[in-house]
Amino acid sequence: MLKGTQTVLGLVIGGVSPLGMAIMGYFVLFVGFEWVYLAIWFLAWVISISLIVFAAKKEMRYAVYCELLSGGFGWVWIASIVAGIWFAISALFMDGSWWEFGYSLLVGGICKGWTRSFMQAQREDMAVGTGLDSVETKSVSDSGNQDIENVVNKFSKVMEELDYVSKFHDIEKLPYPKEEILNSIISAYKLTADENMRETLKVGLLALSHFQEDIGNSPIQGTVDLTKLNIDDLSPEDYLKMNAGIDREKYEHLSQQADKEYEGYLELL
């Protein structure tokens, strides 16, 4: 329960803190607030990132870190569009300051670049983590067990198509029964002495724990996932609409269930 709460709080605070820092930076520069307030926001952001990264499993920490930062900076970029429009109108018609417009433009541009960078880093990390078909084919084929190879290969393709880092999917999306995939991954693990491949197969077990019963066609997630989107085509309204469908309570419950399941899988190795 504590770990699940830690994860949800980290997601919420970590995602909101960059936006809070951007707003506080505005008040510091243009309203006269003390810099200490900005420092407090920054400290809260660092702590929230640490909470969720260290709460995640070792294999997922970098991907979770990238997702958290891309989501947080994405919020700032979205807000900067709205703020920039308002500041431009204010400067043109209400004796506002063009410095305020420049601030929103600068912060939004920087955060847009950071968002893209972390999204790309997460994609590359997940591509490496889901490379089961390219790694296990030789090792498992050498064992002469074609059935194991086929099951693991097909599951690896599902891993590439679906986000298993931040979402939970229904078991109906699996290409084979969950138990059959589990047994195949464990058999492949025991048939190879390649440590790199064994670590990759552990990632497969981790992904398998994110497929649960009674989820339905739509996955369950604890925060907005920007990694599957074209951020240039995403409007603020689209972003808010996506956030409205988040089910953090169910995500926390599923996270606890997946943690126990994954620990049980490791005991079978």
- Averaged in consecutive runs of 10 residues, what is the pLDDT profile of the chain (269 residues)? 50 68 89 88 82 71 76 83 90 88 90 80 59 47 65 88 83 92 90 83 90 87 59 56 64 86 87
pTM listed for this prediction: 0.52
pLDDT score at 15: 60
Q: What is the pLDDT of residue 69?
A: 80
Q: Look at residue 148 in the predicted model and tell me its pLDDT.
A: 85
CA distance 67 to 121: 9
For position 141, what pLDDT does the model report? 46
CB–CB of 256/1 below 8 Å? Answer: yes
Specify the pLDDT at position 223. Answer: 64
Amino acid residing at 57 = K
The pLDDT of residue 167:
85
CA distance 198 to 235: 42
